[in-house]
Amino acid sequence: MDFHCLFRESAAFMCSSGYATDMMFNDISGEKMTAAAYFDALYAQRNRETQQCWRQETASAHQQADKFFYPAGLHALTSGIQPVLNPQIQSLLADLRGLTQGDPLADVMRAEHFHVTFLPVTPARYQSPQQLPALAGLRNAFRQNVIDSSLRVDALRLVALPDQLLLAGIPEGHAVAQRAACWNALLSLEEWRDLLLQRHGGKTTPPEYWHTTLLRYRSTSLPDTLKSYFTDNMHRRYGAISGDIRLVFAFYNWAYPETITV
């Protein structure tokens, strides 16, 4: 799924001091904007695009029982946090489970697997960590560029893709700069460059969203019940989460992640 929107994160390549909430970003016209305004615009644009897709649906929108988002039983190397959930997020997950109860097409995140991604590194293609390339360069890249391992994401809100619901927010601290620095460091490593690019669909810039995927639906589009829930709650805010960034070997949903020591 193409997450590209009309905005480009100019500050993503800034590895200087300062907090992400104080950093300045450029919109498509080159105008300066705060991080909060930038991410608000980024996510709002994605939601408008998705709602437009939904409005333009025809009878070709159909269930795809054999659709899969990631290969079954295979792991990827990724990084992120597993925070303690606040009551708003717990309630949100309960709502989604209730709305999809008995629906075999819905894949709803379990509370114990909740995570927010820092930087995915490889596609899901491995059965064991021993199949990964040598980790020395990767570990060094994370040690040098993730100086502050704490990650806090605030102003969490629902973001919709045609067949998915995300929970996304605004990163605080040095997160934006650290993600960009890690990205650039991995691109410079021959053994990791191609894997990183494959994981991100060939894009040469780091991902812009700070999110987790709450729900995946095996259809070209979400059912009407979930579309309505999103529309009713898209302007809500679900507080903040925080945790320590870990490098992990995990399934797509972070079930039983294995920490890779940095």
Task: Judge whether residue 26 has pLDDT over 70.
Answer: no
Let me know if residue 247 belongs to a domain.
Answer: yes
Q: What is the pLDDT of residues 27-43, one digit of tens each?
A: 555 555 788 999 999 99
Let me know if residue 20 belongs to a domain.
Answer: no
Let me know if residue 29 belongs to a domain.
Answer: no
Tokens of 79: 């990084």
Q: How far apart are CA 70 and CA 75, in angstroms?
A: 9
Other Cβ atoms closer than 10 A to 16: 8
Q: What is the pLDDT of residues 103-112, one digit of tens each?
A: 999 999 999 9
Task: Judge whether residue 20 has pLDDT over 60.
Answer: no
pLDDT classification of 67: cutoffs 50, 70, 90: low
pLDDT of residue 94: 98
Q: What CATH number is given to the structural domain containing 230?
A: 3.90.1140.10
Let me know if residue 61 belongs to a domain.
Answer: no
Tokens of 245: 């960034």
pLDDT classification of 71: cutoffs 50, 70, 90: confident
Rounded to an integer, what is the distance from CA 247 to the centroid of its chain? Answer: 15
Q: How many structural domains comprise the chain?
A: 1
Task: Answer whether 196's CB lies under 8 Å from 186's CB.
Answer: yes
Let me know if residue 77 belongs to a domain.
Answer: yes
Cα torsion 72, 74, 78, 81: sign: positive
Let me know if residue 11 belongs to a domain.
Answer: no
pLDDT of residue 73: 86
Amino acid at 179: R
Task: Judge whether residue 9 has pLDDT over 50.
Answer: no
Task: Judge whether residue 24 has pLDDT over 60.
Answer: no
Let me know if residue 100 belongs to a domain.
Answer: yes
Q: What is the pLDDT of residues 116-151, one digit of tens each?
A: 999 999 999 999 999 999 999 999 999 999 999 999
pLDDT of residue 175: 96
Task: Answer whether 38's CB lies under 8 Å from 23's CB.
Answer: no
pLDDT of residue 7: 36
pLDDT classification of 18: cutoffs 50, 70, 90: very low
Q: How far apart are CA 259 and CA 262, in angstroms?
A: 9
Q: What is the pLDDT of residues 231-252, one digit of tens each?
A: 999 999 999 999 999 999 999 9
Let me know if residue 119 belongs to a domain.
Answer: yes
Q: Containing domain of residue 250, as a range?
A: 72-259
Task: Answer whether 7's CB lies under 8 Å from 28's CB.
Answer: yes
* Helices and strands (H, E) in the chain, number of each type: 6, 11
Residues 175-198: what's their mean pLDDT? 97
Tokens of 75: 């792991």
